[in-house]
Structures are given as structure tokens and as C-alpha cells.
Amino acid sequence: MDNNEWGVQKGSLSLQDSFLDYVPESESINEYDNIILGNQIAFPLKFIYQVIFVGGKRGSGKSYTAGVMMEELERLGLQYVCFDTLDAHGGLTELGGVESITPIRGESVNMTKLTQKLRDSEKSLIINLSQLPLDQQQRLIGEYCESLLSTDMNGRGLMTLFEECQDFVPQMGRPESFHSIVRLCKLGRSKGYGSALISQRPAAVSKEALSQASIYMVHNVINTKDINALKEQMSFGTDTTRIEKILDGIGASEPGEVVVYAPEFLKDEGYITVGKIDRPRRTEHKGKNIDVRPKTVSMFSPIASEGDSFTSDYDFDSSEEDEFSLSKFESFEETGEPGDEVGEEIDNRYTFDEEEEDFSLEDSLTWIADEIESEKVIKKPNNGMKFVAGIAFLSGGIFLATRRIARND
């Protein structure tokens, strides 16, 4: 009997398998009239002047989704501006219709000139804000929104994407960018201007701005406050139980899997669908996790296998090999007992010679007292530190004295 026929499979269920009732049947999509984000997720061209929210925790695929959106807009000759706070979308400049700027500290941007350039050139633009402090990022975004609202784009639509939007239109606080983004969300549609709010934390984004969204694309979210914020915004016009069931299960979703809530576009599906952003990318996505590697290897670190790459603070010169080399531990690896050479080396390094001056516990304690007094003068540690130091030196003295007695025996 084949268990697969009865639904048995390795690993956990995917989001789509969990909610098959909400996954539409695959159908042919006209690529020239639709913004295609995946085999089952596509929107008509009026997508460009919608307010869209893209959410999900780090690594869930939200920035990848934003990248697919921008590639699709460029493919169809539609214009956009992306405020890229993490330098995740620089690869899009490989496309012919996309340019980028990277203002740095001490520089300003003439937003009137910028929006006029957008109008006249029909080019899309990545504004890399990663080199600027947050307050300057907020100021530039506020100036951009106001300038765009006062600019006539000659009847063309334009989408503006705000990465990490919780920093610019937060639920708590009112930075310089706040009212301008809210105005763009509320007034932009009449001018053909859309907005995409992208965030890890839905609960941290202003409800006033989120309430303007007509499309929600939600990747993996696990924080209870974030899930509740989404339930509040996505419950309009549909079965609340249905929304809750899907969002409660979204924490198990794989990267790229997404719940899409779009009442205006998904009427036949009950306003909601489940799918995956799997449109092949045409450019490199730079929003990847940092590859962290150890810089040094300690005696407690696992030995790196051949082919592993790591760097060390220390350069070991094999021509100046220490007598106490690792080769002397071969017998220890094989038998679990140190060889004669190892034992002798330990004795030579860490025990006293017979000719050395006699060592007594009284001498050790006198030396410890002198050390503590010296420490008191130099560093003036607190009583707790003096007590710890005294115990440490006392323990060392007792150990050495005991070892000396054992050797004499």
C-alpha cells in the first residue's frame, strides 16, 4: 500500500497543502496584460496605483517579492521608485529601464528635480538610503512624497516602494515622513500613484496607512501582535473564521509562500488566496543573510575539515615548530592515555625542578596577601573582587603545594 495516496509525506505540510480550498486552479495568464508574481498569483495593470502591504519576518521572502514586483513593472514598461534602506535591490540596475542613486552623509537631494526627471525620462529609480542616518532618510522620503503629489506624470502611473516602512510611517511616533506617506496612500490613486509598504512588523506600521491598502501579501509571520494587526485589517468583506484559520497557520509557511488578500481582485476566490512567489528572477537579489564564519579557532573549537575556509589572527610558521607539537598527542587520540613524551613535557612545563627553592604553603599565602595588597593599591577593586582573587590564589597555592608533596612521596 502506498502511504502517499493517503496523504502521508515527509516533513510538515506546506502552506498550500494546508489550505487547498484557497488555492486557485492553475490557468493560462496573459503576460502582456498582467503583473505575474507566481504561477497562481497575478494582477492586472491597475496594480500600479494600488496601496499594497507586503509583510513577513526576516527571511520569509518579502524583499524577494518586492524584487519580483519591480522586475515585472519594468518588463511591462511601468515606472516605479524604490526607497531601499538595506541595499537589497541594487541588482535591478542590470535592467535597461532602471537607474539608481546613493546619497551619502553631507549630501541632499532636490526632490523637485528628481520627480521632474522621473516624468521626463520614464526611467525607474532605486534610491539607496543605506548610507544615511534614519532622520535624514525620513526627511528625504517626506520631501519626495510631497513633490510627487504636486507633479503631473502626464497620465502615467507610478509605484513607490518603501522598504522597512515601519521606520517611516510607524504606529507609534510621527517622523517627518509620516504625514506625507499617509497623504500619498490616500490621494495617490486619483493621480495614478501607488504605494507598496514593506515591513517585518505589521503591528509597528500605522493603522492609518495600512487601512488604505487594497492588497495584502503576507509571508511567514509568527508574532501574535503582528497576526492580530493583520486580522484586523484583512477581515473586511470575508469570513473572519477563514482569515483567522489561514493567518494562524501562516507561521509554518516556507520562504516564498504567501497569503494574498485582495477584495478588489479576488472576488471569485472569496477575496483571499494562498500561493507562492515563484516567478524566476531576471536580476540578482542582494537581500541575503550574512555568512558568518569564525575568525579564530580556540582549543575548544571543532577542528575544521579540509576545504573549510576560515581565518586566524595567528600565523603558524611550520619551520619553527614547538617541541610540544600536536604530533605528540597521537597516542592520546588512539588510546585515551597521554604518551611518555606528553607526560614529560607537562612535567617540565608545569612542575618545579628539584634544585628550586623549597616551596611552602606559608610562602604561597604570604605571596597571595602581597598580591592582593598590590591589587588594592593599583585597581582598588571592591570587596567582592578581593574575595574572589584571594580564593583563586589560595586554591592555586594549595594545588601547587599538594603536587609538590606528591612528587616527594
235 shares its domain with 365: no
Beta bridge partners of 36: 42
CB 156 within 8 A of CB 120: no
- pLDDT tens across the length of the chain (409 residues): 566 666 566 665 566 565 555 555 556 788 889 999 998 899 999 999 999 999 999 889 999 999 999 999 999 999 999 999 999 999 999 998 999 999 999 999 999 999 999 999 989 999 999 999 999 999 999 999 999 999 999 889 999 999 999 999 999 999 999 999 999 999 999 999 999 999 999 999 999 999 999 999 999 998 989 988 998 888 766 677 777 777 777 887 888 899 999 988 988 777 888 889 999 998 987 765 545 556 554 444 444 444 433 333 333 333 444 444 444 444 444 444 455 554 555 455 444 444 444 444 444 444 444 544 444 444 444 566 666 666 766 676 666 666 665 555 5
Residue 51's SS3 state is strand
In whole angstroms, how large is the CA radius of gyration of the chain? 33
| Residue that the C-alpha cell 527571511 belongs to | 59
CB 179 within 8 A of CB 18: no
pLDDT at site 231: 87
Which of 259, 276, 293 lies at the terminal end of a domain, its last residue? 276
Q: Is residue 384 part of a domain?
A: yes
42 shares its domain with 164: yes
For the domain that residue 185 is a member of, what is the CATH number? Answer: 3.40.50.300
Which of 260, 276, 292 lies at the terminal end of a domain, its last residue? 276
Q: Is residue 329 part of a domain?
A: no
Which of 252, 276, 300 lies at the terminal end of a domain, its last residue? 276
H/E segment holding residue 53: strand 51-55
Q: Is residue 237 part of a domain?
A: yes
Q: Is residue 132 part of a domain?
A: yes
49 shares its domain with 162: yes
pLDDT at site 340: 55
Task: Show the cell assigned to 4.
Answer: 502517499
216 shares its domain with 83: yes
142 shares its domain with 248: yes
238 shares its domain with 366: no
Q: Is residue 293 part of a domain?
A: no
Separation of alpha carbons 327 and 177, rounded Å: 65
Q: Which domain holds residue 195?
A: 12-276
Within 168-266, strands assigned E span 193-199, 215-218, 257-261
Q: Is residue 319 part of a domain?
A: no
Cα–Cα distances (Å) from 302 to 316, 318, 325, 384, in that order, read 18, 21, 18, 36
pLDDT at site 273: 86
257 shares its domain with 391: no
258 shares its domain with 356: no
Q: Is residue 396 part of a domain?
A: yes
Separation of alpha carbons 409 and 406, rounded Å: 5
93 shares its domain with 175: yes
Residue 324's SS3 state is coil
pTM score, two decimals? 0.67
pLDDT at site 353: 47
Residue 248 φ then ψ, to 5°: -65, -25
CA nearest 37: which of 58, 8, 67, 17? 67
162 shares its domain with 57: yes
pLDDT at site 248: 76
Q: Is residue 398 part of a domain?
A: yes
Residue 218's SS3 state is strand
